[in-house]
């Protein structure tokens, strides 16, 4: 009950007016430009011609230069650093096997900022001191694990730092330690639920009430599937290491009415990915984020590559602006004989077919000049006739999305399960070129 009360305890920052946020954003951009021109090597060059005083309206902001992922890669490891290393407290990286890792850093102030943003995520989900949080996001350089960890500390919940892996142990601990909250990628939560089924642990053996899932885009159908399997309300959380980690936006307990953005902490815009100009509210485009208040690696107008839209009007919970669930990534979108598609749209349709296990993989290949999509599926049990399933999937996808696909039925449990971000799309079209 305490959880529910907390969910309703919204901070005043979540009700700032548009006008107030706009004037704050202009101040923030002015201060940011003044500061980073002195301290961040990358922005010294990039903003040399720009006078902070010239930023007076939102339209002035929307004409400032973007920061691209390639910029961050080139800045490896520390060309984006805005403070002396003696002030840095934590360093994360988005990948690191090649030279193309993106390094992001935090001062003590930045960790507090992250804690505040993540605290709001947990409060929106009704998580408070009485809760036990099973945290199956990977700890380490990936910001998922420590982000959720700090959130639990922030709201006074108990955190079980499971990290990823040892999936059977995840199931056992979920049951034995009485977790009320589960945090992971949605695909890993599915994998854990599947493992629990094999171990004979059912949702009635658990005390779960809410799941906080993110780090990959997922459909409403997958959400419903997780809610049924685990007996929870499944909420979407969004964020990225370049900005702060998880905590940029999340759903509230009211329902699946979009993600509330911590817009006083992270300025956001939705733009046309081709022209770079803002799109009207309600229209889909690329999300652009600024973490102007971060000290160690602050960033201006970052092209996230994530596709979403601003939802009109406030949420039923009373909180102001929201964005829609991430539809996919700019570079995840593929075109099949003229039709633009995101893996999430296909997931959404596949999960409506009840004979299918909730895992799939898309293989995109090119046969002479034509793109061919092969959908790999698994039947829920051995008895289902493959021909029936193939026909059903082909017909359904043609009817709903207007596409023609090949369908390949795999052995149960043969499609790779993920402990982190799932790989839904395998693109073979560029192989050997």
Kindly list the residues in this chain that would bind a copy of itself in the complex (CB under 8 A): 76-77, 85-93, 96-97, 103, 105, 108, 111, 129-130, 132, 139-141, 145-146, 149, 152-153, 156-163, 165-166, 168-169, 172-173, 176-178
Taking each helix axis from N to C terminus, what angle separates 343-350 and 220-230, rounded to the nearest 10 degrees? Answer: 50
Which residues lie closer than 8 Å to 432 by C-beta, 6 or more apart?
none
Query: Rounded to the nearest whole angstrom, what is the least distance from the CB of residue 333 to a copy of itself in the complex?
Result: 30
Q: Measuring CA to CA, how many Å separate 379 from each of 219, 312, 386, 414?
A: 20, 39, 8, 11
If the CB atoms of residues 85 and 385 are measured against a copy of itself, the closer one turns out to be 85
Please tell me the distance from the alpha carbon of residue 336 to that of residue 331, in angstroms, as a whole number: 14
Q: Measuring CA to CA, how many Å separate 98 from each of 42, 94, 95, 101, 317?
A: 21, 11, 8, 7, 44
Cα-based angle 173, 129, 89 (whole degrees, multiple of 5): 85
Which residues lie closer than 8 Å to 198 by C-beta, 6 or more apart?
none
If the CB atoms of residues 132 and 377 are measured against a copy of itself, the closer one turns out to be 132
Query: Rounded to the nearest whole angstrom, what is the least distance from the CB of residue 31 to a copy of itself in the complex?
Result: 25
* Tokens 């059912």 belong to residue: 202
If the CB atoms of residues 75 and 375 are measured against a copy of itself, the closer one turns out to be 75
If the CB atoms of residues 156 and 314 are measured against a copy of itself, the closer one turns out to be 156
Query: Rounded to the nearest whole angstrom, what is the least distance from the CB of residue 239 to a copy of itself in the complex?
Result: 17
Which residues lie closer than 8 Å to 177 by C-beta, 6 or more apart?
132, 134, 160
Query: Rounded to the nearest whole angstrom, what is the least distance from the CB of residue 96 to a copy of itself in the complex?
Result: 5
Please tell me the distance from the alpha carbon of residue 377 to that of residue 383, in angstroms, as a whole number: 15
If the CB atoms of residues 176 and 198 are measured against a copy of itself, the closer one turns out to be 176
Query: Rounded to the nearest whole angstrom, what is the least distance from the CB of residue 68 to a copy of itself in the complex?
Result: 21
If the CB atoms of residues 208 and 261 are measured against a copy of itself, the closer one turns out to be 208
Query: Rounded to the nearest whole angstrom, what is the least distance from the CB of residue 204 to a copy of itself in the complex?
Result: 19
């Amino acid at each position: 009950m305490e959880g529910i009360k907390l969910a309703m305890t919204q901070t005043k920052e979540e009700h700032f007016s548009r006008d107030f946020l706009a004037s704050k954003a202009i101040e923030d951009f002015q201060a940011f430009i003044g500061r980073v021109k002195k301290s961040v090597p990358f922005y010294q060059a990039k903003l040399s011609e720009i006078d902070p005083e010239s930023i007076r309206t939102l339209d002035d902001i929307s004409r400032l230069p973007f920061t691209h992922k390639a910029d961050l890669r080139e800045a490896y490891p520390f060309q984006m650093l805005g403070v002396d290393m003696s002030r840095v407290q934590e360093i994360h990286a988005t990948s690191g096997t090649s030279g193309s890792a993106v390094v992001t850093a935090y001062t003590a102030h930045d960790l507090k900022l992250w804690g505040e943003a993540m605290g709001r995520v947990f409060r929106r989900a009704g998580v408070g001191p009485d809760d036990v949080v099973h945290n199956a996001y990977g700890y380490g350089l990936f910001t998922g694990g420590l982000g959720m960890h700090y959130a639990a500390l922030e709201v006074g919940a108990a955190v079980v730092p499971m990290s990823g892996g040892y999936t059977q142990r995840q199931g056992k601990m979920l049951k034995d330690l009485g977790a009320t909250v589960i945090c992971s990628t949605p695909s890993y939560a599915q994998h854990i639920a599947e493992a629990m089924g094999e171990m004979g642990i059912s949702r009635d053996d658990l005390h779960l009430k809410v799941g906080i899932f993110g780090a990959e885009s997922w459909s409403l159908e997958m959400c419903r599937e997780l809610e049924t399997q685990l007996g929870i309300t499944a909420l979407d959380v969004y964020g990225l290491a370049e900005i702060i980690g998880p905590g940029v936006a999340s759903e509230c307990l009211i329902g699946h009415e979009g993600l509330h953005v911590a817009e006083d902490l992270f300025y956001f815009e939705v733009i046309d990915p081709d022209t770079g100009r803002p799109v009207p509210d309600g229209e889909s485009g690329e999300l652009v984020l600024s973490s102007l208040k971060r000290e160690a690696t602050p960033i201006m107008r970052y092209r996230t590559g994530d596709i979403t839209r601003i939802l009109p009007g406030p949420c039923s919970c009373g909180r102001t602006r929201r964005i829609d669930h991430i539809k996919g990534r700019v570079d995840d979108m593929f075109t099949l004989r003229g039709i633009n598609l995101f893996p999430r749209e296909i997931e959404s349709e596949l999960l409506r077919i009840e004979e299918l296990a909730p895992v799939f993989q898309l293989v995109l290949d090119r046969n002479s000049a034509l793109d061919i999509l092969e959908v790999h599926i698994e039947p829920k049990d051995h008895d289902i006739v493959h021909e029936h399933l193939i026909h059903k999937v082909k017909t359904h996808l043609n009817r709903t999305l207007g596409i023609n696909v090949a369908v390949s039925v795999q052995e149960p449990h043969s499609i790779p399960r993920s402990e982190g971000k799932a790989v839904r799309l395998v693109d073979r079209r560029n192989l050997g070129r």
